[in-house]
A and B are shown apart, each in its own frame.
Chain A
């Protein structure tokens, strides 16, 4: 029966294995066995069991909301997914449902960073999101506000660039001195030229329109040391999307970022001036590589006072971001206390100054 799914099975008890982010291995929830990818493959080869790459959910039709409806190859239950979903799981038998026809050809990722953070890690990170943020409503980070929570492999484009950067600027050295009753100001102006080559590696751009670009920017950076060759095995227990923003469209963002950073890098090399005005910045970008990868993100829907707040956590590093609502009463109270405290302290300093 299990042979019809894309899940690995336990070498001991044949139960479905789940990917374990903390151990970067696969665990059996029944016999508690833990296995590496190599161990599982060796066991499956011995048993003559291989992942049935042809076994995928059968697309039946679109439902009333326009979502694709599939039939679970394991239990026959319905699996609903939108057109960009590439991996999900059957809510009845928990079998991983890889929509393989969406992961072929140009949609086949080169590599993936597996999840390193678990659902529990994401919950803990959210519970402590209020640290250093005194204006967060008291109950906001309560676990009970966490609604839908999903670990998603989000499609990213990674771009490499070789840049020839050119910067022309005007630098001014200003010096002042007094002579008699006159103050003199001397301004020496220089024409400054900088020309440099530099390389950027793996600038990420979110390739899915389903996820807010700024939010995906904010959970950067990912540690690319964690990239491994793509395998369906890493998707078990998680959702995955395919890109719906082409590499050509996505790279505009990466180019803009590379251009800005090139300008900054060249500007940083201009030192010794009182003022610097950039007159011209002209950079030639050569795209040397672009990879399609899946990166792990925990997405959280937080329901607080009838509003939904989206939070995201980098599934590799644990960096949690999201816009936190502001308790206006706390702001007013804090401002007022700070005003009074500053006023009293200033008064004391003034008074002590008089004594001294």
Chain B
């Protein structure tokens, strides 16, 4: 009984964990790790506001030294959801978090709603590349976050990439591929089935056929083989180069997660 009660308490702790990061959702930039001076925060805030206004999509930037959720992905998800970020019906928005609780710059980009469609795997990789470039160019956290905002804006300006053109966001916030009816294929199949069947039935009307064999008159018991030989003559082996399908592409160094679209969120992470 005691064990059950303990289990209940543990479960309650995790599931009913209060929003430990309740914030003013209008600020959009939350430098809890104190990586930016106020002046830079103000500049970045204005850029974020510009993004939100232009692309009708929320943008949030978080830095933290504490992560009670274990993974940076979980942190990003809880921060976004618990504080009610996102615009429109599907909570469209993009969140960038730098988690320093392990002493390194574990970053994650979380996409929600329409942002799932705009920021494909490749685009998130590209954004991380821009952020990494800023870091290695010693532009500091300001430069990294500015690179995130700039790169995100560039892609938002380009709109939905070709790879996601045939998608939509369903009522659960998940990205789904639209199923387009393969009209041409169905027409060809129907044409072939109708034509072949009709041809076979038309042929049934022609009953008069020339006999070319006499199988019905062959005495099967009379067949006596004198020679029944199979001699191996030669062999030939050829090869053709057909590379295996490796089943996916590898990501750049430091990538800790791929883009996902379960639970209404997508995104990817990288240790910078």
Interface residues of A (CB under 8 A from B): 132-136, 170-171, 178, 180-203, 212-215, 217-218, 220-221, 254, 256-258, 260-261, 264-265, 269, 321-326, 331, 334-336, 338-340, 342-343, 346-347, 350, 354
Contacts and interface: CB of A to CB of B under 8 A. Distances in A.
B225 A338 contact: no
B212 interface: yes
A201 B220 CA distance: 11
B42 interface: no
A203 B237 contact: no
Contact of A133 (B195, B205, B213, B236): B205
A325 B205 contact: yes
Interface in B193-217: 193-195, 197-198, 201-202, 204-217
Contacts of A334: 198, 201
Interface string B243-264: 1100000000000000000000
Contact of B210 (A203, A213, A321): A213
B179 A354 contact: yes
Contacts of A185: 237-240
A212 B182 CA distance: 51
A269 B228 contact: yes
B232 interface: yes
B197 A338 contact: yes
Given A187-B235, A201-B217, A338-B194, 12 more contacts: A133-B205, A191-B231, A192-B230, A193-B228, A194-B225, A200-B218, A201-B219, A261-B217, A264-B215, A269-B228, A338-B197, A350-B182
B106 to A, nearest CB: 37
B242 A183 contact: yes
A51 to B, nearest CB: 35
B102 interface: no
Given A186-B236, A342-B189, A202 B212 contact: no
Nearest to A224: B217
Nearest to B214: A257
Contacts of A217: 209-211
Contacts of B172: none
Given A338-B198, A343-B187, A350-B181, A133 B204 contact: yes
Nearest to A253: B211
Contacts of A203: 214, 217
Given A183-B240, A338-B197, A331 B191 contact: no
Which 8 pairs from chain A and chain B are nearest by CB? A195-B227, A217-B211, A257-B214, A199-B222, A339-B194, A343-B190, A342-B190, A338-B194
A324 B207 contact: yes
A48 B106 CA distance: 127
Given A196-B225, A197-B224, A135 B233 contact: no
A343 B222 contact: no
Contacts of A346: 186, 189-190
Contacts of A218: 207-209, 211
Contacts of B197: 338
A42 B218 CA distance: 41
B194 A335 contact: yes
A323 B229 CA distance: 45
The secondary structure that dominates the A interface is mixed
Contacts of B210: 213-214, 217
Nearest to B205: A324
A132 B230 contact: no
Contact of A221 (B179, B208, B216, B228): B216
Nearest to B216: A221
Contacts of B209: 214, 217-218
Nearest to A196: B225
Contact of A186 (B212, B229, B235, B241): B235
A189 B234 contact: yes
B226 interface: yes
B237 A186 contact: yes
Nearest to B196: A338
B129 to A, nearest CB: 30
Nearest to A195: B227
Contact of B202 (A200, A331, A350): A331
A200 B235 CA distance: 39
Contact of B204 (A132, A191, A196, A257): A132
16 contacts: A135-B201, A181-B241, A189-B233, A189-B235, A193-B230, A193-B231, A195-B225, A196-B223, A196-B225, A214-B210, A221-B217, A269-B228, A323-B208, A338-B197, A339-B193, A346-B190
Given A181-B243, A185-B237, A324-B207, A193 B229 contact: yes
A264 B240 CA distance: 36
Contacts of A325: 205
B211 A212 contact: no
Contact of B186 (A269, A335, A350): A350
A254 B206 contact: no
A334 B193 CA distance: 12
A121 to B, nearest CB: 18
